[in-house]
Each structure stands twice: as C-alpha cells, then as structure tokens.
Amino acid sequence: MSRAKACVAILLFVSLLIAVVVLAALLVHERGKENTAQAAGDSGGTQVPRLKQMACDVVVVGGGISGLYMAETLLRLKKERNVCLFEKDSRFGGRNYDHRFKQAPNISTSLGAWRVDKMHKRMMDLAKRLTVPLKPMGKFKDVFIQARGIFASTFQSLKEKAFPTLMSGPFSNMTESEMYGFAWRNMTKEKALEIPFYRDFLCQRLGSEGCELLSARYAIKRDFYEESTLCRLEKRQVFKYFSYEYYRPLGGMSDFPTAVKKSALRLGVKVFLKEKVNVLERKGKGFAIHTDHFSALAKKLIIAIPSGAFEAIMGDIAAEVKENVMFESNIGKNVFKAVAIYGYPWWENFTSSQNSSEPIVERLWSASTCLVGLMPYGQQTKAGSNVSRHDLEKWAKRPFPGEEVYMVGEAYSSLPEWNEGALLTAYNALKEGWEISNPEP
C-alpha cells in the first residue's frame, strides 16, 4: 500500500470512530430525556425532576391562617379523612409572623399582622375555641408625620406648614376624617365606576393639594396611585362595622396559626414544610400537584396563597386562574415594617405621666420614598378596574363551576388586608364545597 493510501485509510477510520462516538452520545442524551419525562408523568410538558408519588383526598396549597383553617376544619368536622398541606416556608403562619430579637427575648415583635378588631367575629370565635388569650392594645397616637421635607406632630400642623394654600379654603379646620367624609359625600357604586382611578376621584373631590395632603399623611402610596375607587368604596362600607378596639394575643398574631396547626396535627392533617408547590393541573377526575419533592394526586384542591405567590405556579389550573379577569383585577400592596429596640422602657414613665395605665401605641408616618415595600401587606383591586371585591370573593369560592377547586385567603376577600377576611373566604369555601354553615361551635 502506498503511503498516501495508508493516510486516507487512517483518516476514514478516525472519522468513522468519531461518528460512532457522537451517535452513542446522542442516544444516551435522548434516553435521559425520556426518563425525565417519565418521572414527570403526565405533566402537560412541564419538566420536573423525579418526584415521590403520593395520594390525598384533599390538597391544601399554603400554610397561612386560611390554609391551616381549611385543613383543620375539614378533619375536625369529619368531612374529609386524608388531607395534605404543603407550605413553602420552614414555618407556618405566612403573614402572621412574630419574631423575638435576641436583644429583647421577652418581647414578641409582630413583623406581619399585629391586631384583631373586637368586631372580627370569626377571629374572636377562633380565639375562644382554641383558647388563645387576647389583651387590649390600648390607644393609638400619631406622634410624627413627615411630608415635603417637613416634620409635624399633628395632622393640622402638617397642613399649616406643608400645605399652606389649604388654610384659606373649606379644609382649613377639617380633621383628616372630616376631609375623607367630605370626599365621599353622596357616593354611590355607579359614581365610583365612572372614575375608576382612586387618585383621580380624590383629587376631583378635594383638589390637588387636598388629595396630596391625604396621600402624604397616609404614606402608603399604593392606596392612592394603584387602587380602584370601587375597592376603596367597598372597604369604607366594610370598615363601618369595625369597633376600632384592638386586641392582640400574648405572643403576637402567630399564636393563631400556631394553635390551628396544633389542632390540625392532632387531628391527622399531613403537613409538609419547605415544600413549594410548583405545578397545579388536572389529572383524570382529579388534580396533580407537583411540589419540590412530591407529585400528589388529589380529588379536591384548596389554593390558599395570595395572588403574587400564585403567579409563579404552572400547569393548566394555574394558567386558567391567572387568565381570569377576577384574578387579574387583584394587586398586592407591599409594606416595609421597621422595628426599634430601646435601651430602657421610656414608655412606662410616659404612661404614668399621662396618668393612664393603658398602653399607648405611638405611630410614625413618613411620605418618604426611601423605604421600599418588602412584604405583601394585603390585596387591593387595581386602579382602573371595575371588578367588585364581592364578585371576586364569590368567584374564588369555586373558580371552575362543577370542579372541586377552592381559592381562599385574604387576597380573594371583600375584607382584604385582615385575617378576618382570610377566614371569611374559608367559611365561604366550606359552605360551598362541604355544606358547612357554621364551622365554629
């Protein structure tokens, strides 16, 4: 064989070898893909790693007060036997979250919810049944208001110093609540629908300086810039039933979910912490729920997470919920909560100098934009939307007619931003799906 022929033969052999190696690699890759798809089961093309299989009659997504209450009540009233609950965090309670700082270990600091209104009947009934002791919170006192770079200690002095043009008009001597009363005079649902941006409504009724003052005073900008007029009107109607007499459990509001969780565990609810739900989809006559580690099949599905968290969930059920105009109307309001720890209890001297044994809760308000909202406080209806929260609440109790899916939580309530609203939606779902009219004895 000539030298040239030998070179060509070697080249051909090496090319053949490379082709065989590439083909083998492709085959192994394809096999891997098949295995992953098998592990994902029938997940509508959603690729998830191999998950442990499990079956539950009811799956609850979210371990805040609404999810825990649903799970606990279904077992307590013997309506279900096999209830599983998945919570993404390493603790239960969601936005009922208390923390003890090491500098003040005897004080439970509420980083989320902090109070119950005396008229919140569902919460009060729950406190009674689970013996959660409550103590009165005392009076609120606004001591510091800051806007337009000016510091004031009362609403009136803020008005005089930072909004002087208001001093020559009808608002010169009005208190904050009188100004709101003025804005809401003769208000009806029809009128609210005509001006669906709350800020436009307020500025129309109070003038630009008037609405600016209330916006600066209230400090939560989202209420003014991103809330619908109808939502605000509906909230005003609900707030009429508040007593404004507040109570707080000794260990903070997380005493509520802690007590419900304890009862749920005793009754046999299967709870899974650090188990984020990623996919919600239909499967056969029921539902498939994929978490970080499990693929659960369920006959009934209870969704107990707010709309912001829900956005991240995949699957056909999640997609259809997200497309619905009711869901789309909802927007989360974020808040920043600051905590101050003092070297000595100065308020003890303060209350005795006021000759009062009642604690005084001092509040500081700042219209500064340097504090960024960190935690979803509660839900409101988007500015410009004409969806009523009463319709949202009705829709959520069974978003797919004829199917066993229920959505609960503050986010889908006509009383948003309150635990009472979260329980209200749970009551609705219990009635709708299990014919429970009065879940508390």
Ligand X SMILES: Cc1cc2nc3c(=O)[nH]c(=O)nc-3n(C[C@H](O)[C@H](O)[C@H](O)COP(=O)(O)OP(=O)(O)OC[C@H]3O[C@@H](n4cnc5c(N)ncnc54)[C@H](O)[C@@H]3O)c2cc1C
Binding site for ligand X (CB under 6 A): 61-67, 86-89, 94-96, 112-116, 276-277, 304-306, 309, 313, 335, 337, 375, 377-378, 409-410, 417-419, 422
Distance separating alpha carbons of residues 88 and 264, to the nearest angstrom: 18
Which of residues 67 and 249 has its CB atom nearest to ligand X in the complex?
A: 67
Which of residues 60 and 383 has its CB atom nearest to ligand X in the complex?
A: 60
- Look at residue 47 and give its three-state secondary structure: coil
Distance separating alpha carbons of residues 350 and 354, to the nearest angstrom: 6
Beta carbon of residue 19, minimum distance to ligand X (angstroms, whole number): 47
Beta carbon of residue 244, minimum distance to ligand X (angstroms, whole number): 12
Measured CA distances, 338 to 171, 250, 372, 379 (Å):
32, 20, 11, 21
Return the residue nearest ligand X (CB atom): 64
Which of residues 174 and 335 has its CB atom nearest to ligand X in the complex?
A: 335
Which of residues 182 and 247 has its CB atom nearest to ligand X in the complex?
A: 247
Q: For tokens 């010169």, name the residue.
A: 172
Beta carbon of residue 126, minimum distance to ligand X (angstroms, whole number): 11
Distance separating alpha carbons of residues 84 and 57, to the nearest angstrom: 8
| Residue 82 φ then ψ, to 5° | -120, 90
234-242 contacts, C-beta under 8 A, 24 or more apart: 234/388, 234/389, 234/390, 234/414, 235/416, 236/184, 238/414, 238/415, 241/119, 242/117, 242/119
Beta carbon of residue 206, minimum distance to ligand X (angstroms, whole number): 27
Beta carbon of residue 329, minimum distance to ligand X (angstroms, whole number): 17
The CB-side HSE value for 266 (13 A sphere, CA atoms) comes to 9
Which of residues 212 and 410 has its CB atom nearest to ligand X in the complex?
A: 410
Which of residues 158 and 259 has its CB atom nearest to ligand X in the complex?
A: 259
Beta carbon of residue 100, minimum distance to ligand X (angstroms, whole number): 17
Asked if 327 and 307 count as a contact pair (C-beta separation under 8 A), the reply is yes
Asked if 119 and 341 count as a contact pair (C-beta separation under 8 A), the reply is no
Which of residues 158 and 254 has its CB atom nearest to ligand X in the complex?
A: 254
Tokens describing residue 425: 């939606």
Beta carbon of residue 92, minimum distance to ligand X (angstroms, whole number): 7
